[in-house]
Chains A and B, each alone.
Chain A
Amino acid sequence: MKLTNWRILRAPLMKATLFLGAAVVALAAGPAAQAQSKDPIRIGVISEAQSVAGSSIPLGAQLAADEINAAGGIDGRKIEIVSYDNHSSSAESVRAFQRAVNEDHVNAVIASYISEVVLALEPWAARLKTVMITPGAASDVITQNIAKDYEHNKYTFHGYLTSTSIAQSVCDSAKDLLVKDLKMKTAVIMSEDAAWTTPLDASYEKCLPEIGLKVLDHIRFSPDTTDFTPIFNKIEGEKPDVMITGISHVGTQPTVQWKSQQVPIPMFGVSSQATNSTFWKDTNGATEGVLFQAVSGPGVAVTPKSLPFVDAFQKRFGNVPSYCGYTAYDEVYYLADAIHRAGTTESDKLVDALEKTDWVGTIGRVQFQGKDTPYPHALKVGQGTITGLMLQWQDGKQVNLWPTEVANGKLKFPSFIKTN
């Protein structure tokens, strides 16, 4: 278009814009002024929608919101989920967080399963005074930051286990399954180099010797690793009874190579991707025999709510939720519960109410540690709250082996694994 034509158009365009603007303002101001208390409660969900684990976060949250709304909402207010894809990037997450709070006016945010992302968002939750709960990140630093500067960082809640509690859960189960039953004596720690594994490995180093597993070596590798042959060879040369894993960003590749190279040592520990129901398909069945820590499992009634949730999720979305699908679902429920108890969505009052959370969810009983503990706003773990599980892939299914009260199978290894 030529410049002259544009000039002719400019005046009417401006008039139209002004008119539209005025109309929008009038429309927005009208109902807002009258019905503030009946406005929906808006929860922002920032997640890794392209990853198998992260894609369950918005779905779990939406399912919970729809259930609450179908039952009449919270004090007559509906819950609305506003979802953002962060492409697994911290920078995009920060932008999404700003947009969620400043433009979309959300009342609270559920964000990410990547520790680096949550650590990047934590100062923004503080600056924008908005409650943020993570359904899947694990780094202990998230709650350590709250301990360091409670007044400032109190808006962040850790809705999943910290690395330290995950390591403890792995050690507790290893004590029963490996040391007591299989008489294992030695282990090598194998973990990816990431924020969440630093405290995990430190706890492994501490708790493995306590249960009677001598740590022969500790291998940290780059999450970009594609060829695991040299790593497996090194570990095999040290002749440990078991490899204790700490992997999340990688999963398919080490598992497939472990099988194709027939590494005769069991893998036991954290393998986040193995918690996904699609992992069997992703690895073409190579995951047979892999043991992994989780907070939930198919067919495992951790609480009376676990199985109905999985059924509803599967019926609606056609697949099984990942671990952070469970936590995201619970988080919407206990956020709603806290808003109900607080009688407001005002952030400071909401923080007070969330701290008093006592909610039986799908992974156990949710209670947060107090502000005077080393990990304020971290989940309480252990008997009576959340214990965690140890599952194993067997013939295309995830079978729970520990704790024995909720076990639905027995330990079983593929033929290339050698145990004494």
Chain B
Amino acid sequence: MLFWQILIDGFAISSLYALGATGFTLIFGVSGVLNLSHGALMVAAVVAAWVAGGDLAAGSYLGASFGVLVGLAATMLTYFVVVRPLQQSSKIREQEKEIFILTATLLWGIMIQELIAFLYTNNAKTVLPIVEGVVMIAGVRTPANEIFTAVICWLVIGLLWLLVNRTRAGKAVLAASMNARGVTLLGIELSWIYIAVWAIYGVLVGIAGVLLGMFLGVSSYSVGPLTASAFSIVVLGGLGSVSGSLIAAYVVGYLETMTAYLVSPAYRTIPALLLLVFVMYVRPRGLLGRR
């Protein structure tokens, strides 16, 4: 019983982690940007879906779509207002740009967080679920929403895989992550690849946020922990490696769930963080890292 409980709950939360971390690692792989406003973008999507579903009475489907749309818009804004001007600036030395972008996205995330708290208070919000009710799986009363979450996560990850590996545009993105200069030599405009990757990332962030809002709910306080969890999953899996992030998401998700059930919910995140420190010692490039 407990075994099934852990297996089912762990799967749902891990799938959500996987989706959240995929976008995060994708933009790092392609454009070398560690986006520390990741959590803020997710929370923005949730709050937008909550507002649309509640105040504007748009219903669960429209509300969720609006949330994803706002997640995408906020991500593109982050790219054009915060990241790109720094990347193209001639006043900052090339080797310092990474740290500038890191700081800028962190501050940008805090700005979004404060704005949300100011406009909609810091109380937790939840998104109107698309599917309700419970299903019995192996004697475990599982919310249908949990199954829905896992299915959508894997559907989106599958589509992303098809996009990257089976389409021309996707292959260009993959190539850019391996050798940016090589791609430009083939006559592909690199700046368009960056915009495409950020747009894909925006959609992933929006979907992951809205699903999290339906599953657990978030508040403006969640901004930091969400960024931190995506960051640690990506570091554990190997920076820039999508498959590494997927594996790491499941490792972290199950480790957390097992701790919550077998030890105490209060210590939920501790073993995963210890594992991260351990991996940093013995294998600094992460599970499947290339560099």
Contacts and interface: CB of A to CB of B under 8 A. Distances in A.
B154 interface: no
B266 A193 contact: yes
Majority-rule SS of A interface residues:
loop
A226 B123 contact: no
Given A222-B266, A227-B260, A51 B123 contact: yes
B123 A283 contact: no
A286 interface: yes
A233 B261 contact: yes
A224 interface: yes
Contacts of B128: 284
Interface string A243-274: 00000001111001100111000000000010
Contact of B132 (A88, A225, A253, A260): A260
Contacts of B219: 252
Contacts, number: 89
Contacts of A284: 53-54, 126-129
A252 B121 contact: no
Contacts of A92: none
B122 interface: yes
Contacts of A251: 123-124
B225 A224 contact: yes
B124 A253 contact: yes
Given A229-B9, A262-B141, A222 B265 contact: yes
B145 interface: yes
Given A252-B217, A260-B145, A230 B126 contact: no
A50 B145 CA distance: 30
Interface string B215-243: 01111101001000000000000000000
Contact of A231 (B55, B216, B220, B265): B265
Interface residues of B, number: 35
Contact of A281 (B5, B54, B143): B54
Of the candidates B125, B132, B143, B217, the one having the most CB atoms from chain A within 10 angstroms of its own CB is: B217
Contacts of B162: none
A50 B117 CA distance: 6
Contacts of A256: 126, 217
B178 interface: no
Contacts of A80: none
Nearest to B261: A230
B154 to A, nearest CB: 20
A231 B260 CA distance: 8
Interface residues of A, number: 35
Contacts of B217: 226, 252-253, 256-257
Given A252-B123, A281-B54, A283-B126, A261 B216 contact: no
Interface in B88-140: 117-118, 121-129, 132, 134
Given A225-B265, A260-B143, A52 B216 contact: no
Interface in A198-237: 220-222, 224-231, 233
Contacts of A250: 124
B123 A282 contact: yes
A385 interface: no
A282 B126 contact: yes
B121 A50 contact: yes
A233 B140 CA distance: 10
B13 interface: yes
B53 A52 contact: no
B216 A227 contact: yes
Contact of B265 (A221, A276, A282, A283): A221
A200 to B, nearest CB: 18
Contact of B122 (A50, A225, A227, A286): A50
B104 to A, nearest CB: 22
Given A226-B217, A227-B216, A256-B217, A52 B121 contact: yes
B78 to A, nearest CB: 23
Interface in A96-118: none
Nearest to A276: B123
Contacts of A369: none
Contacts of A282: 123-126
Contacts of B125: 252, 282
Interface centre among A228, A233, A262 (most CB of B within 10 A): A233
Given A51-B123, A227-B13, A253-B126, 14 more contacts: A50-B118, A222-B265, A226-B225, A227-B268, A229-B260, A252-B123, A252-B125, A252-B219, A253-B216, A260-B129, A260-B143, A281-B54, A281-B55, A282-B125
19 contacts: A50-B117, A50-B118, A51-B121, A193-B266, A222-B265, A225-B268, A226-B217, A226-B225, A230-B257, A233-B5, A251-B123, A252-B125, A256-B126, A256-B217, A260-B145, A261-B143, A281-B54, A284-B53, A284-B54
Please give me the 10 A-B residue pairs with the lowest Cβ-Cβ distance, nearest first. A252-B124, A230-B260, A260-B143, A50-B117, A253-B217, A256-B126, A222-B266, A52-B123, A230-B261, A284-B128
